[in-house]
Structure 1
Amino acid sequence: MTALRTPALVAVLAWTLTACAPLTPAVPAAAQPPQPMQWQAPTGTAETAAIDARWWQALGDPQLSAWVEQALAHNNDVLAARARIDEARAQIQLAGAAGRPVLDAVLPMSSGRSLGSTGMTHLRSLQPGVQASWEIDLWGRLDALGRAADLRYQASQADRDAIALSVASTTAQAYVGLLSLQAQLRSAQATLVSREHALQLAADQARVGYISQLQLTQAQSEYHSVLQSIELLRHSLARQRNALRILVGWEAPDGAAPGTAALHWPGEGAPDLEALQLPRLPVALPSQLLERRPDIARAQWQLAAADQSLAAQRAAFLPQVRLSASAGSLLINALDYNPATVWSLGGSVLAPLFDAGRLKAQFGVSVAQRDQAAYAYRGVVIQALAEVENALAGSQLLQTQMAQARERQQVLQRSLGFAHDRYQAGYASYLEELDAQRNLFAVQQEVIRLRQSQLDNVIALYQALGGGWQAGGGQGL
């Protein structure tokens, strides 16, 4: 009868303690992410086809691809993200070890002198042996911690892929920016040659009194203005090259690490900014976006890990059962060091009764951390939706602006011809031709910058749509 009563008593006690554990609150309703059915911005001719994981190759420049591949292999942020994956993998092993028995070798030794009934006694002892302990995971606390570690490992993989996607996009945009600066520099240098000829002509005409000193000083001012622009562009080019080198781990151009393509600065024979292809816009439904972006997947797994940590913290309110055992030999000088076998078996139940609110406070911390992860997930989704909307809207705007700028460039090109003819025929002053030259140079620079903006916007849209990422597929790492 006693043998049946003891398990029943343990079961009743366990049920009572389980009832004392707090209920897990639901995720706040405000943390639910929005789920729009369609985009607000017009998608135009955007295609819904799957995105290639090496989407940067669609721009049609092998050197751009070489720079991106180099960045994915050697960028410092990508390398640090890989190290975080190694850390998360080790955390899985650490969490799994907590649920397995632990076996230790022990070698207690002691030496002491004391007064006994027969006088002073000097006792020496040696007890080699092994000790084993094991926590029985009755309530799934250790299992929940293991699942949390595994989810954080998956989140670290998605984090690496999100960083790789960002690095690829940033590298592509930096390369496009370098081409843009080179195009602006070539335009400025061509304009400088024209201004130099015009200045020489103005100086000759002022010397014979054909034009005034005011017109000469205007020509000098325009010449030095373009010269100053060239110096600023050269400085910007140097900074842009350094920015690219930072992205690829400071690898020197015209050389690369083993296994990667050689890097070269864009130059003669390489595609210029205008030669880069402007691929048709990719697009996806808002519902598909949740499955295509690594940063959204990372936030999802972090939220799931926070849920498991919360479950483990709730299980801390329940009794913890540990088993222990030890075995060994006892050698003492009183027995002439004749080995004696000693062993022990035991168990313990640790049930929290009073802790001054520590467990409740820790549970509250876990609830708050779970809710923060839920809001973080919602924030990532909102940011992703906004990035796609901005890129789609920017595509339409930039296309319109580019068409208008090119038309204006053609008009100003004809206007400069008219102004030059009027000046040569004596119907207008040289200031009119200078003004036409200034306007044409400004719109030429604007066309180059708009082309750069169009390419940057396409790159940003590829990034906003996840860059062809798939769970478990990685980002070309």
Structure 2
Amino acid sequence: MRTFSITLGAALLAGCGAPTLQQQPLDLPAAFKEAPAQTAADGTRWKQAQPAEAQPRGEWWLAFNDPALNALIAEATAANQNLAGAAARLRQARAIAGIAEADRIPQIGLQAGVQRLRSSPTELGLPAGTPVAPQTLYRAALTASYELDLFGRVSSNVAAARGDAAASEASYRSVLLSVQADVAQAWYRLRATDAELATLDQTVRLREENVRINQRRFDLGDIGEFDLSRARTELATTRAEAVGLQRQRTNTEHALAILLGKTASGYTAAASPLQDGLLMPAIPAGLPSSLLERRPDIAAAQRAMEASNARIGVARSAMFPALTISASGGGLSDSGGDVFKWSSRSWVLGALMSMPLIDGGRNRSNVTRSEAALEEAVASYRQSVLVAFAEVEDNLAGLRILENQSSEIDAALQSARRSAGLAQKLYDAGRSSYLELLDAQRNLAAVERSAVQLRGSRAITTVALIRALGGGWQ
């Protein structure tokens, strides 16, 4: 994809419709820097961008092979309030588009009523003071009106409303993707915290065992009070860390409850520690940047540009004549039984053309405002594209770095376990101090927590990449 095109076209109708917009395209790469590029069979790596926000993204979360996550996302999709609000906004936008579409066809109505009136003698051409009896008039009529779209006002208004509806649909998909990704990230953040708590629980049990051993040795006079006090300090410190981590878990659980459309007090997630060896979805090499064409926020920005472009046509048409044809026909009688007789018929047929002569520059200013709104929409679109590329690159780089970190931390974990085992044996044999044992155990606990945190970070970053790509890479 040599360009991420932002060229929009619309018919220029009678010199006043929505303009054909030509903008300098964004010169963007065909593939992401963090993903090895793939070359097409013909040797090229570039292609013209095509809107693809309607492409199915699939149930990307199934790639994690996590039944609990599948159930949570299904629950959030059905009950999340932000998503419900986005769906309501989409229905509103579609209804507004329907209102605009209605101007394309004649408007037909029915009138029926009764009037009691007394006319002035002067109105009837009679001498002043002539008695005039009150009248009761019955009316029944069909009315019709239709605006000829001479200068594109109706068609431009319809195009703008359709663009707004398409933008609302893309925004709904953006909210849907965000809700699904937020649920997945909250779930794996919760599981990573559970795994950290499990690691801390093991450390607490080790510290408790150290306190018991040191208490026994202190009672026997083998060690001084210093070693016993240090063991008790380490136990209390580790317990405090576990309490602090419980607070973090509680906050994550509450955030997940909101995503599921539940009250924080009415939702409890069972502990589900993130296990070592969790298989993450494999990221294919050579991810094409055309995947970003599916991103719903980029699609929404595109549709907003189209709507803004159409509104220029609406603003321009206000400077030209508007022609409306109207007709009315029915019966008018002083008796309800005679209103439908042929002799009581009445009709009106007319055409009304109106246009501004002096408006103090109102319409010209409205055109200028519409043109400036389009420039804003174009800038917003370009910014969305740039941000999208940065987010994908950030997460690809993050996964690459996390993978390297995981390799290193695995090696460190093996060494730390070996060191802790040797330190325990030396201490038991009286060949090293308690401080040396404590240092080795503390180092092992820190490395174990780092390994757990890296597992959680990899899962969360994988979800972030899927979100940045608009819903996976299929």
- Asked if TM exceeds 0.5, the reply is yes
In structure 2, the residue matched to 1:33 is 26
Alpha-carbon separation, structure 2, partners of 1:282 and 1:353: 64
Cα separation, partners in 2 of 1:200 and 1:156, compared to 1, 3 Å: same
CA-CA distance at 1:18 after TM superposition:
6.3
Helix, strand or coil for the counterpart of 1:39? Answer: coil
Do structure 1's residue 79 and structure 2's residue 84 form an aligned pair? yes
Query: How has the CA–CA distance of structure 1 residues 245 and 283 changed in structure 2, closer, same or farther, with 3 Å as cutoff?
Result: farther
Alpha-carbon separation, structure 1, partners of 2:109 and 2:30:
60
Q: Highest relative contact order (Cα 8 Å, sep 6+), 1 or 2?
A: 1
**Matches of 1:314 and 1:153 in 2, distance apart?**
22
What is the match of residue 56 of structure 1?
Answer: 61
1:123 equivalent to 2:134? Answer yes
Counterpart in 2 of 1:433?
437
CA contact (8 A) 1:388 1:461 kept: yes
Question: Cα 1:43–1:222, aligned 2, differ >3 Å: closer, same or farther?
Answer: farther
SS in 2 for 1:249: coil
Tell me what 2:460 maps to: 456
In structure 2, the CA distance between the partners of 1:68 and 1:108, relative to structure 1 (3 Å rule), is same
Which residues of 2 match residues 437-448 of structure 1 at below 5 A? Answer: 437-448=441-452
Task: Note the 1:39-438 alignment, pairs <5 A.
Answer: 39-43=32-36, 53-106=58-111, 107=113, 109-112=115-118, 114=120, 117=127, 119-128=130-139, 129-250=141-262, 265-267=269-271, 272-282=274-284, 285-332=287-334, 340-438=344-442
- Deviation of 1:235 after TM superposition, in Å, equals 2.5
Shift of 1:274: 2.6
* TM-score with structure 2 setting the length: 0.84
Paired AA for residue 425 in structure 2 = D
Match of 2:48 in 1: none
Aligned mates of 1:413, 1:420 — CA distance in 2: 11
Alignment partner of 1:121: what SS? coil
Q: Please, what TM-score do these two structures have when normalized by structure 1? A: 0.83
* SS of the residue 2:26 aligns to: coil
Matched to 2:398, the amino acid is G
| Pairwise CA distance, 1:181 | 1.1
Q: Deviations over 1:265-313 (max 9, x none)?
A: 455xx78433532121146655413422222122111111211121222
Deviation, structure 1 residue 42:
4.4
Q: Is the 8 A contact 2:18 2:312 kept in 1?
A: no
Deviation of 1:102 after TM superposition, in Å, equals 2.0
Shift in alpha-carbon separation, 1:249–1:70, aligned structure 2, 3 A: same
Query: What is the rounded CA distance, in whole Å, between the counterparts of 1:309 and 1:52 in structure 2?
Result: 32
Contact 1:109 1:127 in 2 (8 A): yes
Unaligned ranges ≥5, structure 1? 1-16, 256-263, 471-477
- Alpha-carbon separation, structure 1, partners of 2:466 and 2:285: 9
Instruction: Name the count of aligned residue pairs.
Output: 436
CA 1:466–1:231: 2 relative to 1, 3 Å: same
Letter in 2 for 1:163: V
CA distance in 2, matches of 1:405, 1:435: 18
How many angstroms does 1:189 deviate by?
Answer: 0.9
- Closer, same or farther: CA 66–176 of 1 in aligned 2, 3 Å: same
Query: Percent same amino acid at aligned positions?
Result: 33
* 1:430 alignment partner AA: Y
- Deviation of 1:233 (Å): 2.3
Structure 1 residue 127 displacement after superposition: 4.7
Deviations 1:230-280 (A, max 9, x none): 22222222222222221121189999xxxxxxxx9455xx78433532121
| Contact 2:406 2:451 survives alignment (8 Å) | yes
State the distance in 1 between where 2:133 and 2:232 align. 107
Between 276-285 and 340-349, report the one with greater CA deviation.
Answer: 276-285
Point out where structure 2 has 5 or more consecutive residues left out of the alignment: 1-12, 39-54
Q: Take 2:304 and 2:70, find their aligned partners in 1: how far apart are those partners?
A: 32
Residue 123 of structure 1, CA deviation: 2.8
Distance 1:89 1:244, change over 3 A: same
Three-state SS of the structure 1 residue aligned to 2:118 is strand
**Aligned-residue offset at 1:445:** 0.8
Distance 1:177 1:287, change over 3 A: closer
Q: In 2 relative to 1, CA 298–379 (structure 1 residues): closer, same or farther, beyond 3 Å?
A: same
Aligned partner letter, 1:351? M
For residues 473 and 306 of structure 2, the distance between their equivalents in structure 1, rounded to whole angstroms, comes to: 20
The amino acid of 1:153's aligned partner reads A
Give the secondary-structure state (helix, strand or coil) at the position aligned to 1:132. strand
Deviation of residue 207 (structure 1)? 3.1
Distance in 1, Cα, partners of 2:175 & 2:100: 26
Query: Partner residue of 1:260?
Result: none
2:327/2:347 contact within 8 Å kept? yes
Distance in 2 separating the partners of 1:157 and 1:51: 14
Question: Could you tell me which amino acid in structure 2 is paired with residue 219 of structure 1?
Answer: A
